[in-house]
Structure 1
Amino acid sequence: MEAGSMTRSHIALVSVPAFSHQVSILRFAKRLLQLHNNDFNVTCIIPTVGVSSTPSKSFFHTLPPNIHCIFLPSVHFDDLKNNGVPVEVQLQLSVSRVMPSVRDTLRSLLSSTNVVALIADAMVPEALEFVKEHNILSYIYFPCSSMLLSLCLHAPTLDQEVSCEYRDHPHLIKIPGCISIYGKDLPDSAQDRSSLNYKLFLKRCQKYRDVHDGILVNSFLEMEEEATKAIIQQSICNGNGVGDRNYPPIFPIGPIIQNGSSGQKNDCDLCLLWLDKQPPNSVLYVSFGSGGTLSQEQINELALGLELSRHKFLWVNLRAPNDRASATYFVNDSLVDDPLSYLPLGFLERTKGQGLVTSGWAPQVEVLDHESVGAFLTHCGWNSVLESVVHGVPMIAWPLFAEQRTNAALVTDGLKVAVRLNTSGESVVLKEEVAEVIKSVMEELEGEEIRRRMKELQKLAACAVMEDGSAGKTLSKLALKWRSLGNQKIERGEPLDEETHDEGEGLL
């Protein structure tokens, strides 16, 4: 640990063995240090699974010196991976298995640094139980939308109000401060109420309600104002203690995304060089994220739909087919067959002048920032949604798993910055529908309206992260609190007292 580690305020983070979650919470740490570089050290405790992929290795090399990552020994859960266990269950159970190591690491950190706050990823709220022993501040980092957070906080109540499966509910599901959605658009965790996945989901949601000092959410007030206000209303104390409020304070600190170049080369250079040769707003960018897969039949229909649309396209991170949408979530990209071999016969040759397909990783932020990109066909992972918003790129929503259908409902029906393909059933999306939706976004009036609304949202996002913007001020408020508590600990020469936990504090 660097010199001064016992005097500089220290923030401890606990993540999960999922790259998208690790990226988000570490980008938050980078944002904190950009605003308050000399005030904090950060340590992120990361459980691991298998071998790190190329993009993840590259990302960790970009971290500043006062962000330190501790990678715990690899978690083995082969008994889960091969039995169709949902991603959310795999994540939570894998972290539960390594929780003793997490606690040991936190104890070691407390003995050698001036820890003032512990921030746990939303998938592992049980890590916050550690603070009961040591009287440090406790927060959840929620790497998703305020709409999803509102749903999660409301879930224990919803569970009491609805008796059937949510997908069979005859009415739209009401979420405080948000648009109402169909039950089938709730997260995968809520789709089978008799399952272990649902029971773990409810348990997490109840733990969110019990968080002492607040929830940091990767969204911004101007994009989800009503959802944020609904949560704040429930977090205001009527009395003197945590028991007098329904929800913890909420801190919208987003959009937190990658800034600047990723530093990754090879396929990245190929993608960007190809984009340089295309006309402005002419290319559809296609990506299903780091873990999304399609069936063989769906790969065929998507490919033929792209060809039929006659629009230019950049399709990246193509994976070998699998009937489970999340099949490669934990799989190193070097351990699978060549995905390009699963494309329709002759497709690459026929579309040589129209598009580029690669199984490699692409620098998504740089792609979305490129002037030739006119739209983004996305799985609606929240990181991708925010990156699209920040760069003002209209979306075509193709959700696959986890909370992606909920995100798709938000961007299409709530924000109206996307068009959604009908992917909710078991049937395959046919090439004709793919081509039709592409044309509607790239050519027609509907696409122009979406682009206009997205540009307005882009401006709001840029303002939010400025030092005097809503998210900038919220993060500065937190930083001031943490720095002050660190100084108090040094002056007293003792651990934090329980008095340092403020009641009812939050955005307002």
Structure 2
Amino acid sequence: MAPGHMIPMLDMAKLFTTRGVKATITTTSLNVPIVAKAIERTKTRGNGVVKIDIQTIEFPAVEAGRPEGCEATDSRTTHEKMSTFISSFKMLRQPLEQLLQNHHHPHCIIADMAFPWAIDAAAKFGIPVLVFNSTSIFSTSAGVSMRQYKPQMEVSSDSEPFVIPNFPGEIKLTRMKLPTFTDNKYVKAFFSDFAKEVGESEVRSYGVILNSFYELEPAYANHYTKVCGRKAWYIGPSGKESSIDKHECMKWLNTKHINSVVYICFGSLSNFSDPQLMEIAMGLEASEQQFIWVVRKDKNEKEDEDWLPKEFEKRVKGKGLIIRGWAPQVLILDHEAVGGFVTHCGWNSTLEGVTAGLPMVTWPLFAEQFFNEKLVTEVLKIGFPVGAQQCVELCGNDNPIKKEAIEMAVRHIMEGEETKEMRSRAKELGEMARRAIEEGGSSYSHLNALIEELKALHS
């Protein structure tokens, strides 16, 4: 339904097939081409072991109050639309139950965290469910503590800091940085209730599976298991396979020195306002760093680009490259010329930055991204915050981060003595990530152990 959830699920299915497990992806009709293309692309790269079936269920978009054919999120999604969209997922329960009734019963179902009702649907057929949590175990564990102790209710204002109780480290947040922060009372109530449902589904499930690796978040992995009393398997980083598309930017990067380029991208759902894009452009130019900047603008918007300073691209020609639309992010991050990453702290992007061994400028926007920022900047110490103070609407922000803050943050990860220490730590984590998925590594072993445990349930 959303790229940040769908892609890791596909990568996970591929991982299971490499261990001889038959995997089936269940998705809606309009998402089938995306899934099929991803599977076929893997086969054409010589990975002949990939045997993934696709089962289709119909999404009753119109009945759910959605436009016909609307089965995925995009950059024009607002928090209100997102809440309606997530609420409509419940209408997939009956089609899923019919599928399980009429076809084979799998030995296990891995359900995205956005489908907490899948636990009850599978229980009718005695099928264990693993919840795929599409974020870090840091934010997952923090969520457990937040729901249990409610420290956000003990402060007198949205901007007053509070410490997450019974949680490793002195991690401070404000209500403004929580996923539920919004002026819309309906949306706030919805996301609060939804977070509770997700948390309860984790408790009632067989366990949680994450695209992370133990060495990245050991204190929080142990906290989740020993303090929260829940089972979890870490099988990442998955999705390391890069696109073979030779994008023009790769030729551009080949002309640059090692660690000389900063890469800026804010994910598939972010859609900044023109004033914010203007500030980013001016901040990048003032930083005097070489850069690749990915900008995703609404296709329906006017073509004249008022969001760029006059003659900006002329002034930065050869030094800066703007990509309008899709970019081969993994390829870019892995290129030796790239020395830093400005990210929205979505978990997939964060993990890709870690795996590439890069220091990051953290610019969280919504969802659990402020939790991920804390992990990157305060726990791993491989990031520098740009200064975002509150969750914003998905379609823009009326209070843009200023160019001076952007310039300072970019310089911080690209220049100076402190940068060397940060880069060294990032490189160490990148090596840990690579070792985790190799034979004998922690994630490799976690996946094997999970498969054996599931087999034992049916022996």
What is the TM-score when the length of structure 1 is the normalising length? 0.78
2:225 to 228, 232, 247: 232
2:318 to 340, 349, 353: 353
Of 284-293 and 248-257, more deviation after overlay is shown by 248-257
State the distance in 2 between where 1:164 and 1:106 align: 47
Partner of 2:282: 304
Question: Residue 166 of structure 1: CA displacement?
Answer: 8.1
The alpha-carbon distance between structure 1 residues 311 and 141, as it changes in their structure 2 partners (threshold 3 A), is same
Q: Which runs of 5+ in 1 are unaligned?
A: 1-16, 236-246, 321-333, 489-508
Question: Residue 164 of structure 1: CA displacement?
Answer: 5.5
RMSD: 2.9
**Is the partner of 1:222 in helix, strand or coil?**
helix
2:458 is equivalent to residue 476 of structure 1: no
Counting only pairs closer than 5 Å after superposition, residues 211-290 of structure 1 correspond to structure 2 as: 211=205, 213-234=206-227, 247-259=229-241, 261-263=242-244, 265=245, 269-290=247-268
Partner of 2:144: 153
**Aligned-residue identity in percent:** 27
State the distance in 1 between where 2:249 and 2:98 align: 44
State the distance in 2 between where 1:293 and 1:49 align: 23
Question: Residue 278 of structure 1: CA displacement?
Answer: 1.5
2:415 is equivalent to residue 443 of structure 1: yes
Query: Amino acid of the residue matched to residue 456 of structure 1?
Result: E
Deviation per residue, 1:149-180 (Å, 9 max, x gap)? 11233343123884568845553223623551
2:89 to 83, 87, 95: 95
Partner of 1:117: 108
State the distance in 1 between where 2:128 and 2:117 align: 14
2:331 is equivalent to residue 366 of structure 1: yes
Asked if structure 2 preserves the Cα contact closer than 8 Å seen for 1:318 and 1:339, the reply is: no
Partner of 2:27: 46
Asked if structure 2 preserves the Cα contact closer than 8 Å seen for 1:338 and 1:359, the reply is: no
Question: Residue 50 of structure 1: CA displacement?
Answer: 8.6
Partner of 1:505: none
Question: Residue 413 of structure 1: CA displacement?
Answer: 1.2
Partner of 2:167: 176
2:428 to 446, 456, 473: 456
Asked if structure 1 preserves the Cα contact closer than 8 Å seen for 2:145 and 2:164, the reply is: no
Counting only pairs closer than 5 Å after superposition, residues 323-334 of structure 1 correspond to structure 2 as: none
Asked if structure 2 preserves the Cα contact closer than 8 Å seen for 1:188 and 1:402, the reply is: yes
Asked if structure 2 preserves the Cα contact closer than 8 Å seen for 1:319 and 1:339, the reply is: no
State the distance in 2 between where 1:131 and 1:452 align: 46
2:4 to 20, 26, 36: 20
Asked if structure 2 preserves the Cα contact closer than 8 Å seen for 1:179 and 1:414, the reply is: no
Partner of 2:386: 421
The alpha-carbon distance between structure 1 residues 399 and 339, as it changes in their structure 2 partners (threshold 3 A), is farther
The alpha-carbon distance between structure 1 residues 481 and 197, as it changes in their structure 2 partners (threshold 3 A), is same
Counting only pairs closer than 5 Å after superposition, residues 374-453 of structure 1 correspond to structure 2 as: 374-424=339-389, 427-453=399-425
The alpha-carbon distance between structure 1 residues 316 and 51, as it changes in their structure 2 partners (threshold 3 A), is farther
**Is the partner of 2:435 in helix, strand or coil?**
helix
**Is the partner of 2:216 in helix, strand or coil?**
coil
State the distance in 1 between where 2:193 and 2:224 align: 23
State the distance in 2 between where 1:287 and 1:160 align: 32
Question: Residue 485 of structure 1: CA displacement?
Answer: 4.6
State the distance in 2 between where 1:293 and 1:262 align: 24
Asked if structure 2 preserves the Cα contact closer than 8 Å seen for 1:374 and 1:442, the reply is: yes
Question: Residue 56 of structure 1: CA displacement?
Answer: 7.3
Asked if structure 1 preserves the Cα contact closer than 8 Å seen for 2:113 and 2:131, the reply is: yes
Of 394-403 and 341-350, more deviation after overlay is shown by 341-350
State the distance in 2 between where 1:461 and 1:87 align: 36
Question: Residue 24 of structure 1: CA displacement?
Answer: 0.8
Question: Residue 300 of structure 1: CA displacement?
Answer: 0.3
State the distance in 2 between where 1:350 and 1:87 align: 39
Counting only pairs closer than 5 Å after superposition, residues 484-503 of structure 1 correspond to structure 2 as: 484-485=456-457, 488=459
Deviation per residue, 1:218-273 (Å, 9 max, x gap)? 222111111111111136xxxxxxxxxxx4311122222332x313x4xx511111
State the distance in 2 between where 1:46 and 1:339 align: 38
**Is the partner of 2:106 in helix, strand or coil?**
strand
Partner of 1:294: 272
Partner of 1:68: 53
State the distance in 2 between where 1:405 and 1:57 align: 33
State the distance in 1 between where 2:9 and 2:156 align: 33
State the distance in 1 between where 2:271 and 2:342 align: 14
Partner of 2:179: 188
Query: Amino acid of the residue matched to residue 201 of structure 1?
Result: A
1:31 to 7, 15, 27: 15
**Is the partner of 1:135 in helix, strand or coil?**
coil
Asked if structure 2 preserves the Cα contact closer than 8 Å seen for 1:217 and 1:251, the reply is: yes
Question: Residue 297 of structure 1: CA displacement?
Answer: 0.8
The alpha-carbon distance between structure 1 residues 167 and 317, as it changes in their structure 2 partners (threshold 3 A), is same
Count residues with an aligned counterpart.
434
2:194 is equivalent to residue 200 of structure 1: yes
Asked if structure 2 preserves the Cα contact closer than 8 Å seen for 1:178 and 1:227, the reply is: no
Question: Residue 360 of structure 1: CA displacement?
Answer: 2.2
Asked if structure 1 preserves the Cα contact closer than 8 Å seen for 2:77 and 2:269, the reply is: no
State the distance in 2 between where 1:161 and 1:404 align: 17
State the distance in 2 between where 1:95 and 1:224 align: 31
Question: Residue 86 of structure 1: CA displacement?
Answer: 4.2
Query: Amino acid of the residue matched to residue 259 of structure 2?
Result: N
Query: Amino acid of the residue matched to residue 471 of structure 1?
Result: S
Query: Amino acid of the residue matched to residue 206 of structure 1?
Result: E
The alpha-carbon distance between structure 1 residues 464 and 307, as it changes in their structure 2 partners (threshold 3 A), is same
**Is the partner of 2:163 in helix, strand or coil?**
coil
